[in-house]
């Protein structure tokens, strides 16, 4: 059954999800990557450059046959190196 | 007169998500600058009311450094004044965090079309540089100061357009606004260097035209090149060129109170590290020690007025509509000003950047939903979908409002993508919970963890993932959790 902890509700700016305990999942990989699941909900910060959040999402490309491959020439990949 | 501001020292702009970096480098940071609206929310695209995030405010209050507010989203180069509700929220935020002063940008990001409806550009655009442009900014600054009761500085903006032959020179424009509004100047040297590199007034010539005693703050940042343009990207450390330039400039600034570094949290983990940040702050400290080092009689900057003739016949409302409409990919070649602006190669840059801003907001506001759609449609069709959306839907400056509008659009497309509706509900519910702190329960016909696991690894979810089991997913605001908790944590604000 879902793990629930309503007594600690107000804490910080992190959202948590509870799900049935029987679910198999890879906790580490999900936690790591979904830290930015929601992105910014507020106003954009002040800058006049390229917003790399879109570019980083293009680090993987999906072709017409729906094959997924790393987009090695993407700026986001260059930044990450 | 603006009240005097005390000397502050070296600062850093702290976005939601940078708290840990600020805390661990606390010894190098004398002041914390905040862009308040980055932690504000709106309830819907239609809403004009805002709320600030109390948790982030509490974190800021707990920091020992003095705070300064640097507004975003409601710049003072505009004929359109911010709604009353903006100042209500800003003042509540000011009451909570107690910044020493506030600043905003000498730019505009909204315009009124010929039918009288207001549109957002999602990008800071340069105002009309003539005497009427000066008066527009002066009016907006007076309004801002009157509404907040705080000392006020305006920031020198970036401008990717070419110089127009009959416009006021950049330095003269800034100087007149500062003098006529009795405001301080936030000298963004990275913006001014970008302008110089892109063909506008050289920084040193511009500084000769400024009233140096009004410059109380300097912004530094890092940038990058894109199609022959140097962008104010806030993407990393400052270049040696910018640091050297700043080192010579601060010596002749008699009233400088702070030097503040700007970097976007998105670049942490993308090559920019905490030790880069430390090195940047240390370099700034050395520069800071040279402030006001030149003897008064030898100072270089003494407000030399520009003698260039200026065309004052154009009015800011016409300029805002022309440039705003073009930036939003409209074009009316019959209108001479729009025709003129369309010849400027900077317009294509602005349009591309606006598309990336909007697309970034969508793919981060609804990250897993967008990934699912991309996996099911392919990159090309997904990009086309984003372009179609941007061409037909209004821009939003708030992330949540933007996500809501895009969610509706996706529903209308009837894309027939498995799990799409569930994923949308999941991400929107999580966003709402982040904003209002209320627990939500969702019922899904699939296991969200398995779906997320696929999406995280860029794998198309297999059809058999679908199940007759109903999954009850409780979403609640974060609480301290232990490793034993079978909980998925994720963060609602873009983070390192
Ligand atoms: Fe700035």
Same domain, B351 and B284: no
Q: Three-class SS of residue B161?
A: coil
Which residues face B259 on adjacent strands? Answer: B10, B218
Nearest-by-Cβ selection for B232 from A49, A58, A60: A49
pLDDT tens digits for range B316-325: 999 999 999 9
pLDDT tens digits for range A31-44: 333 333 333 566 66
Q: Is A22 on the interface with B (CB under 8 A)?
A: no
Stated length of chain B: 496
Confidence bin at A27 (pLDDT 50/70/90): very low
Whether pLDDT at B242 is above 90: yes
Q: Which residue has the higher pLDDT, B353 or B364?
A: B353
Nearest-by-Cβ selection for B397 from A35, A44, A80: A44
- Measured between its terminal Cα atoms, the distance across chain B in Å is 41
Stated length of chain A: 81
Residues 6 or more apart whose CB falls under 8 angstroms from that of A73 comprise none
Confidence bin at B234 (pLDDT 50/70/90): very high
Centre of ligand 1 to C-alpha B339, Å, is 31
Confidence bin at A11 (pLDDT 50/70/90): very low
Q: Look at A45-59, B70-84, B129-143, B416-430 and tell me which has the smallest mean pLDDT.
A: A45-59
Q: How many domains does chain B have?
A: 2
Q: How many domains does chain A have?
A: 1
Is B102 within 8 Å of B148 (Cβ atoms)?
yes
The answer to whether the Cβ–Cβ distance between B368 and A37 falls below 8 Å is: yes
Domain that holds residue A23: 11-80
Residue A2 lies in a domain: no
Contacting A residues, span 37-66, partner chain B, CB-CB under 8 Å: 37-58, 60-66
Chain B: residue whose CA lies nearest to A7: B479
Last residue of a domain, one of B245, B271, B290: B290
Centre of ligand 1 to C-alpha B495, Å, is 20
Domain that holds residue B381: 346-488
Q: Which of B62, B470, B493, B496 to mutate to probe the A interface, most A CBs <10 Å?
A: B493
User: At residue B494, what are phi and psi to the nearest 5 degrees?
Assistant: -55, 130
The answer to whether the Cβ–Cβ distance between B270 and A64 falls below 8 Å is: no
Please report the pLDDT score of residue B492 as a whole number. 24
Residue A3 lies in a domain: no
Q: What is the mean pLDDT of chain B?
A: 89
Please, what is the Cα angle at B393 between B391 and B395, to 5 degrees? 100
Residue B302 lies in a domain: no
Distances in Å between the Cα of B212 and the Cα atoms of B22, B94, B219, B300, B390 are 30, 28, 15, 9, 42
The answer to whether the Cβ–Cβ distance between B70 and A46 falls below 8 Å is: yes
The answer to whether the Cβ–Cβ distance between A37 and B434 falls below 8 Å is: no
With a threshold of 0.85, tell me whether the complex ipTM lies above it. no
Residue B313 lies in a domain: no
Q: Look at A22-36, B219-233, B256-270, B372-386 and tell me which has the smallest mean pLDDT.
A: A22-36
Whether pLDDT at A10 is above 50: no
CATH (domain of B273) = 3.20.20.150
Residue A19 lies in a domain: yes
Please report the pLDDT score of residue B266 as a whole number. 80
Mean pLDDT, residues B40-64 taken together: 85
Chain A: residue whose CA lies nearest to B350: A48
Residue B356: closest CA among B266, B417, B271, B490: B266
Please report the pLDDT score of residue A75 as a whole number. 67
Confidence bin at B454 (pLDDT 50/70/90): confident
Alpha-carbon distance A74 to A77, whole Å?
5
Residue B299 lies in a domain: no
Mean pLDDT, residues B29-56 taken together: 85
């Amino acid at each position: 059954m879902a793990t629930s902890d309503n007594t600690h509700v107000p804490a910080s700016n992190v959202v948590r999800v509870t799900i049935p305990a029987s679910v198999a999942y890879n906790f580490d990989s999900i936690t790591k990557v979904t830290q930015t699941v929601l992105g910014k909900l507020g106003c954009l910060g002040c800058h006049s450059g390229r917003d790399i959040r879109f570019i980083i999402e293009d680090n993987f490309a999906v072709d017409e046959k729906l094959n997924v491959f790393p987009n090695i020439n993407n700026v986001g990949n260059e930044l990450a190196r | 007169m603006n009240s005097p501001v005390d000397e502050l020292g070296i600062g850093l702009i702290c976005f939601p998500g940078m708290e840990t970096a600020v805390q661990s480098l606390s010894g190098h940071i004398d002041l914390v600058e905040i862009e308040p609206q980055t932690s504000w929310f709106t309830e819907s695209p239609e809403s004009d009311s805002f709320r600030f995030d109390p948790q982030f405010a509490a974190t800021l209050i707990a920091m020992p450094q003095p705070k300064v507010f640097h507004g975003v989203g409601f710049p003072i180069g505009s004929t359109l004044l911010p709604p009353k509700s903006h100042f209500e929220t800003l003042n509540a935020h000011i009451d909570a965090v107690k910044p020493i002063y506030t600043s905003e940008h000498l730019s505009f990001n909204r315009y009124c079309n010929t039918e009288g409806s207001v549109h957002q550009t999602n990008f800071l655009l340069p105002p009309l540089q003539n005497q009427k442009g000066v008066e527009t900014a002066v009016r907006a600054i007076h309004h801002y100061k009157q509404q907040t009761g705080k000392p006020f500085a305006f920031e020198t903006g970036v401008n990717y357009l070419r110089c127009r032959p009959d416009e006021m020179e950049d330095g003269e424009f800034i100087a007149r606004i500062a003098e006529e509004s009795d405001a301080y100047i936030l000298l963004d040297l990275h913006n001014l260097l970008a302008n110089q590199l892109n063909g506008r007034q050289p920084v040193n010539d511009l500084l000769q035209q400024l009233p140096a005693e009004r410059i109380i703050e300097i912004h530094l940042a890092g940038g990058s090149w894109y199609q022959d343009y140097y962008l104010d990207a806030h993407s990393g450390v400052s270049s040696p060129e910018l640091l050297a330039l700043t080192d010579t400039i601060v010596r002749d600034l008699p009233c400088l109170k702070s030097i503040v570094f700007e970097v976007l949290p998105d670049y942490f983990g993308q090559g920019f590290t905490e030790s880069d940040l430390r090195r940047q702050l240390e370099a700034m400290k050395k520069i800071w020690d040279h402030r006001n080092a030149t003897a008064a009689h030898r100072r270089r900057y003494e407000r030399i007025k520009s003698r260039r003739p200026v065309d004052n016949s154009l009015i800011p409302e016409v300029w805002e509509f022309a440039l705003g409409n073009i930036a939003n990919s409209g074009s009316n070649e019959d209108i001479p000003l729009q025709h003129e602006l369309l010849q400027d190669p900077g317009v294509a840059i602005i349009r591309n950047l606006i598309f990336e801003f909007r697309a970034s907001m969508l793919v981060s506001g609804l990250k897993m939903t967008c990934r699912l759609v991309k996996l099911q449609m392919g990159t090309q069709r997904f990009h086309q979908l984003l372009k179609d959306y941007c061409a037909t839907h209004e821009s939003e400056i708030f992330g949540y409002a933007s996500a809501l509008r895009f969610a509706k659009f996706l529903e209308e497309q009837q894309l027939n993508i498995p799990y799409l509706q569930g994923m949308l509900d999941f991400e929107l519910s999580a966003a709402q919970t982040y904003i209002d702190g209320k627990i939500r329960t969702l019922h899904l016909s699939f296991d969200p963890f398995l779906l997320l696991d696929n999406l995280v690894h860029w794998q198309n979810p297999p059809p058999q993932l679908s199940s007759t089991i109903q999954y009850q997913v409780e979403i609640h605001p974060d609480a301290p959790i232990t490793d034993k908790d079978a909980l998925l944590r994720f963060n609602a604000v873009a983070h390192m």
